């Protein structure tokens, strides 16, 4: 770790919390500022002594309540005897300077409230206490007004951190078919959406999961209906009927996250891609500072439980990945021969890369791999690498086109339609290929429907999953309860 020294031309300030129990604290001065310092000391259980020829009405009232001891006279050097901490708050700058020098000579912690603060042992930041939480803000004496502004804003934020809840709002193939879901996939890709969410007081942490099957936001928020309404509005869920999306809270939200992470809520039950997609979504949100330790703890706990679920149900289900499913489909078609047909793969992401591996494993001899920004590292002679911009001129060369690129609207449209009887598989969401591009187009939803009849239903494995979650959900509850009961210890 590299340490960086402060500029030695400015005051070096080190933040601390002083333990003042059984310590003698005194204030020199009886005006408005002295009164404020007395209030601060009283609030932490100290009964200060105040020395001054005049006292504010508040100090006199404090004295009647037995909260302060008032000594009505001018300052005397003996006032420093056996003193641990001293506030110097007279309206006499020279006197304040003199007292500060005496305190330094006698190693007494002192704070001068005027321009002599530079010679003091400490300064008091703008601070407040809220429900057992103490927050202090300091500008190093440069601007008290700015420190108070920040303090007041933090205080407003602190009040929204009570009654927190873990929340998930989303939809997937079970609630909304791909045609209607496309607009959600597209709108949530708008970079302004998460930036707006991150600036809403009451939304503490969040991540967005946007995959071919689902659009979801996981968030730690204040338990407030208005927060929920804002999220629904920003993410465009208000465009749909209430039965076309879901809202889950606390343990139900965590259970949902665990079942999603384990692949149980996927169209292909038990598929593994969703695990890495959840991890990638969180890494992005963490890097963007949309999320922090609480959400991270929830996700790590869900990942741990989902691993147990996968191990327990692996003998029941026959999990497959989208690239394996694509190859299964091609092999089932009597008019397709992978080893002889000319194949175009669009996209160099995880799915595109895995498709190349699978095709080579099935002896494909003629593959053109189209990339957009990143050129894939491949030296296989059976693969021809091409930029996506050249697809238009080569579109007539292929018998099979498989697309897995990230776009907000179809990339292959009727304008590029070929007379050749090309077989098209669209793995994108939103769709990469318009319906009128080819008669032989199968999209992701149809592909999964074709395969789903061969695997078990979710009802077969759900009781096992729920049992594992119930046995381990205490780890999630510890995380959430640590926010709700921290000041009751």
Residue extents of the structural domains in the chain: 25-124, 127-161, 164-318+465-488, 322-452
pLDDT computed for residue 484 by the predictor: 65
| Interval 120-141: pLDDT, tens | 999 888 777 776 778 888 777 6
Spell out where 186-286 has E strands.
203-210, 214-222, 246-249
Q: Is the dihedral of CA 140, 143, 144, 149 positive or negative?
A: negative
CA 138 to chain CA centroid, Å, is: 27
DSSP 316-384: T-----HHHHHHHHHHH-TT--TTTSEEEEE--SHHHHHHHHHHHHTT--EEEEEESSS------TTEE
The yes-or-no verdict on residue 284 having pLDDT over 80 is yes
Fold of 25-124: Rossmann fold (3.40.50)
Asked if the peptide bond before residue 430 counts as cis, ω within 30 degrees of 0, the response is yes
Task: Find out whether 68 and 38 touch, Cβ atoms under 8 Å.
Answer: yes
pLDDT (mean) for 19-31: 94
Rounded to the nearest 10 degrees, the angle between the axes of helix 250-261 and helix 293-313 is: 50
Q: Which helix (H) or strand (E) holds 423?
A: strand 423-426
pLDDT computed for residue 5 by the predictor: 47
Backbone angles phi, psi at 46, to 5 degrees: -100, 140
pLDDT (mean) for 366-375: 90
pLDDT computed for residue 8 by the predictor: 43
pLDDT (mean) for 255-263: 95
pLDDT computed for residue 9 by the predictor: 45
Of 185-194, 391-400, 433-442, 468-477, the poorest mean pLDDT is in 433-442
The yes-or-no verdict on residue 477 having pLDDT over 80 is yes
Higher pLDDT, 15 or 364: 364
pLDDT confidence bin for 1, thresholds 50/70/90:
very low
* 3-state secondary structure at position 206: strand
pLDDT computed for residue 367 by the predictor: 94
What is the overall mean pLDDT for the chain?
Answer: 87
Of 138-152, 232-246, 345-359, the poorest mean pLDDT is in 138-152
Task: Find out whether 274 and 209 touch, Cβ atoms under 8 Å.
Answer: no
Fold of 164-318+465-488: Beta Polymerase; domain 2 (3.30.460)
Sort 336 into a burial class: Cβ within 10 Å, 0-12 / 13-18 / 19+.
middle
| Interval 394-447: pLDDT, tens | 988 999 999 998 888 888 888 887 767 788 999 887 888 887 888 788 888 788
Pick one of 3.30.479.30, 3.40.50.2020, 3.40.50.720, 2.60.40.1180 as the CATH number of 322-452. 3.40.50.720
The yes-or-no verdict on residue 34 having pLDDT over 60 is yes
pLDDT computed for residue 13 by the predictor: 77
Beta bridge partners of 137: 126
pLDDT computed for residue 455 by the predictor: 60
Could you check whether 164-318+465-488 and 322-452 share the same CATH topology? no
CB atoms within 10 A of CB 302: 26
């Amino acid at each position: 770790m590299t340490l960086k020294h402060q500029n030695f031309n400015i005051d070096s300030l080190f933040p601390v919390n002083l333990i003042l129990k059984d310590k003698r604290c005194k204030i020199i001065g009886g005006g408005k500022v002295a009164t404020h310092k007395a209030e601060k000391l009283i609030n932490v259980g100290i009964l200060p002594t105040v020395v001054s020829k005049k006292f504010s009405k508040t100090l006199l009232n404090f004295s009647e309540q037995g909260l302060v001891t008032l000594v009505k006279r001018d300052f005397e050097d003996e006032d420093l005897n056996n003193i641990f901490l001293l506030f110097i708050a007279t309206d006499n700058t020279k006197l304040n300077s003199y007292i500060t020098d005496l305190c330094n000579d006698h190693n007494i912690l002192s704070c001068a409230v005027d321009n002599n603060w530079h010679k003091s042992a400490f300064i008091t930041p703008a601070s407040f206490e809220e429900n057992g939480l103490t927050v202090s803000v300091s500008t190093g004496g440069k601007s008290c007004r700015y420190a108070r502004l920040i303090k007041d804003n933090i205080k407003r934020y602190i009040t929204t951190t009570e009654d927190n809840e873990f929340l998930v709002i989303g939809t997937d193939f079970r609630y909304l078919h791909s045609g209607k879901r496309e607009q959600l996939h597209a709108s949530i890709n708008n970079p302004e959406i998460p930036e707006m969410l991150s600036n809403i007081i009451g939304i503490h942490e969040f991540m967005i999961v946007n995959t071919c099957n689902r659009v979801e936001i996981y968030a730690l928020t204040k338990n407030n209906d208005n927060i929920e309404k804002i999220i629904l509005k920003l993410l465009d869920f208000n465009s749909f009927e209430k039965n076309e999306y879901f809202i889950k809270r606390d343990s139900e939200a965590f259970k949902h996250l665990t079942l999603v992470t384990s692949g149980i809520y996927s169209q292909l039950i038990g598929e593994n891609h969703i695990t890495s997609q959840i991890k990638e979504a969180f890494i992005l949100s963490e890097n963007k500072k949309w999320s922090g330790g609480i959400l991270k703890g929830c996700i790590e706990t869900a990942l741990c439980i989902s691993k147990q679920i996968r191990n327990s149900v692996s003998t029941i289900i026959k999990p497959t990945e989208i690239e394996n499913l694509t190859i299964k489909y091609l092999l089932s078609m009597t008019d397709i021969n992978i080893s002889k047909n000319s194949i175009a793969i669009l996209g160099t992401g995880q799915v595109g890369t895995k498709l190349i591996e699978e095709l080579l494993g099935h002896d494909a001899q003629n593959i053109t791999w189209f990339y957009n920004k990143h050129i894939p590292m491949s030296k296989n002679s059976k693969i021809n690498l091409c930029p996506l911009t050249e697809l238009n001129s080569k579109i007539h060369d292929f018998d099979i086109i498989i697309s897995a690129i990230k776009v907000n609207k179809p990339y292959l449209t009727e304008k590029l339609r070929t007379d050749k009887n090309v077989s098209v598989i669209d793995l994108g969401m939103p769709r990469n290929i318009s319906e009128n591009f080819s008669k032989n187009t199968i999209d992701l939803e149809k592909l999964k429907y074709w395969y789903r009849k061969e695997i078990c239903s979710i009802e077969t494995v759900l009781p096992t999953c729920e049992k594992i979650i119930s046995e381990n959900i205490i780890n999630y509850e510890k995380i959430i309860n640590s926010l709700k009961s921290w000041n009751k210890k």
